[in-house]
């Protein structure tokens, strides 16, 4: 399995959903980075399950244990290894249907790829549970970036067909991003929150699920980060974003909407003020030629509906080699968008730190 990413800083992720624990090794961090462990814990809490009816009832605290690479709250330069113990597994929920392919999951592809040796419980290594170590790694990266003034924040742009306002691409304030990270259900227009929550609860009652879109921004990035073609900031971030389970689309700036404009409107015209060059608009999302231009880096990520639903669905029994029906019971999120936000921010921080 491919569990390593990065060149200057290498991240190696490990574990399965129902194994003893999950974790990550970060190799290449410079020594002397002071870590705020309470801030890391708060990031972990943002992703953690079991907080309300909008998420799974699986009650994992996502408490991390640092095994190496940190001494007196500072990085030592040695590989930083952190582990998160699994403590609330219900593995028997999966034994009854282990031969039935769950629609929307990696059961079939994983079984074929790994010759039926992969851990099927809770999705094993394919599970969204494995994003917890990503949030830990991203929290470390965020702190390294914060020392350079770089701030990352996100909001829920949509749940199903209910939409929030978008960021003002050309002007995103630090206070606004920081405020969003403190919200349990971050939206720009507060009145949209209840409508979105109602849509999620309605899906839960109907034994179904819904998806949505997360809009993320990184501000105070200097001009000049990234390279054209294979090491563009867009391709690096897209690589990481598509590594998050359930991500099905990524767009930067106006994204697909830019195709509806004339070039004269799509182009971001320049101006200089106090010897600083900026653009009046930010339709390209802060990136030109794969390189940051100093404007806010803005993108949106599409999250599909949670594939585990209790409604009866058609499938195949892999052992009997015959058609069958499946109802996926257990503890599942009716919508994972809310919990995916800190994961999106985490891999964004990892990607930006790699380039810097």
pLDDT digits (tens, 9 = 90+) for 240-278: 999 999 999 999 999 999 999 999 999 999 999 999 999
Consult the annotation and say whether 136 binds a ligand: no
Q: How much is the pTM?
A: 0.91
Which sequence spans correspond to the domains of the chain?
4-355
**Looking at residue 109, what is its pLDDT?**
83
**String of b and e for 174-184 (b: at least 16 CB within 10 Å)?**
eebbeebbeee
3-state helix, strand, coil in the chain (%, to 5): 30, 25, 45
Q: Does pLDDT of 57 surpass 80? A: no
Q: Looking at the chain, list the stretches that DSSP marks H as alpha helix, in order from N- to C-terminal side.
A: 37-47, 92-95, 107-113, 131-146, 174-181, 191-205, 233-241, 263-266, 337-355
Consult the annotation and say whether 126 binds a ligand: yes
Helix 337-355, helix 233-241: angle, nearest 10: 140
What is the SS3 string spanning 267-282? Answer: CCCEEEECCEEEECCC
User: Which backbone phi and psi does 109 adopt, to 5 degrees?
Assistant: -65, -40
Domain covering 4-355 in this structure, CATH number: 3.60.150.10
Consult the annotation and say whether 296 binds a ligand: no
Consult the annotation and say whether 308 binds a ligand: yes
Tell me the CA distances in angstroms from 103 to 259, 309, 343, one per residue in order: 33, 9, 24
Tokens describing residue 93: 């929920």
Consult the annotation and say whether 331 binds a ligand: yes
**Looking at residue 17, what is its pLDDT?**
72
Q: What is the mean pLDDT of the chain?
A: 90
Pairing outcome for strands 291-292 and 297-303: unpaired
Consult the annotation and say whether 53 binds a ligand: yes
**Cα 246 from Cα 157, distance rounded (Å):** 16
Burial class (CB in 10 A: 0-12, 13-18, 19+), 108: middle
Q: Does pLDDT of 171 surpass 80? A: yes
**Looking at residue 1, what is its pLDDT?**
55
Q: Beta-carbon neighbour count of residue 103 at 10 Å?
A: 16
Consult the annotation and say whether 47 binds a ligand: yes
């Amino acid at each position: 399995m491919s569990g390593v990413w990065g060149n200057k800083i290498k991240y190696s992720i490990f574990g399965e959903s129902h194994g003893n624990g999950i974790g990550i090794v970060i190799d290449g961090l410079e020594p002397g980075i002071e870590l705020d462990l309470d801030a890391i814990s708060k990031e972990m809490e943002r992703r953690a399950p079991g907080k309300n009816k909008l998420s799974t009832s699986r009650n994992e605290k996502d408490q991390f244990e640092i095994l190496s690479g940190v001494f007196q709250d500072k990085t030592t330069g040695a590989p930083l290894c952190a582990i998160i113990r699994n403590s609330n597994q219900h593995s028997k929920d999966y034994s009854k249907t282990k031969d039935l392919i769950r629609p929307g999951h990696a059961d079939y592809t994983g079984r074929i790829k790994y010759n039926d040796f992969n851990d099927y419980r809770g999705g094993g290594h394919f599970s969204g549970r494995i994003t917890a170590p990503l949030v830990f790694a991203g929290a470390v990266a965020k702190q390294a970036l914060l020392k350079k003034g770089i701030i990352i924040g996100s909001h829920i742009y949509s749940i199903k067909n209910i939409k929030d306002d978008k960021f003002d691409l050309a002007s995103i304030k630090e206070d606004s991003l920081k405020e969003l990270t403190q919200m349990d259900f971050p939206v720009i227009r507060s009145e949209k929150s209840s409508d979105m929550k109602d849509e999620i609860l309605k899906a839960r009652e109907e034994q179904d699920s819904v998806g949505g879109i997360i809009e993320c921004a990184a501000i105070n990035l200097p001009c000049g980060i990234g390279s054209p073609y294979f090491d563009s900031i867009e391709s690096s971030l897209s690589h990481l974003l598509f590594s998050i389970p359930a991500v099905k689309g990524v767009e930067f700036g106006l994204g697909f909407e830019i195709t509806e404009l004339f070039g004269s409107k799509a182009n971001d015209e320049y101006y200089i003020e106090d010897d600083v060059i900026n653009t009046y608009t930010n339709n390209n999302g802060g990136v030109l030629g794969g390189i940051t231009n100093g404007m806010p880096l803005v993108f949106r990520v599409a999250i599909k509906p949670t594939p585990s639903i209790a409604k009866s669905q058609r499938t195949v029994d892999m052992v009997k080699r015959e058609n069958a029906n499946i109802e996926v019971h257990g503890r599942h999120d009716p919508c994972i968008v809310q919990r995916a936000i800190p994961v999106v921010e985490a891999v964004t921080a990892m990607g930006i730190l790699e380039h810097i």
